[in-house]
Amino acid sequence: MKHFTLEPNMRSSIGGAFYPSGHALVMFPSAEDANRIGHGLIDKGIVSGDEVYLLPAETILKEITPTVADSDNPLPSAGTDGATVRAYTKLAREGHTGLLIRTKDGAITERVMEMVRTVPYSMAQRYRTLVIEDL
């Protein structure tokens, strides 16, 4: 798994909120479950180690949360990207851990979610062009 650093292409072009198109972000109450699922996805060949990031709560709060500070200025967001980041922030403050996973297509997304569903998870969103999809 890769170390997460927020890159410019992981932000919305309008407002700058976190919007990693082509990825899914799954939040887990247990850091151990997140770590195990991340490594399992790699071990089973569903994704490569370069396509999975482990996001501890501190990373979400430091890197992702600030992307919504000004995203509704001067106009409110037309989408749900700001509200979605606020939901991640709430979960991170409760100690949840995230996995950011590259999802090239629906088939990979389904294989990812088959593994994710083997443990408790709190939230799963897939970012596509102009759409944030509940998983």
pTM over 0.85: yes
pLDDT in tens, 25-77: 999 999 999 999 999 999 999 999 999 999 999 999 999 999 987 545 445 55
Using an 8 Å Cβ cutoff, are 16 and 72 in contact?
no
The token pair at 82 is 């700001």
Whether residue 130 has pLDDT greater than 90 = no
Neighbours of 57 (CB within 10 A): 19
SS3 (DSSP) at 25: strand
**What are the boundaries of each domain within the chain?**
8-134
- Tokens 């709430």 found at: 90
- Closest of 42, 45, 44 to residue 99, by C-alpha: 42
pLDDT in tens, 21-30: 999 999 999 9
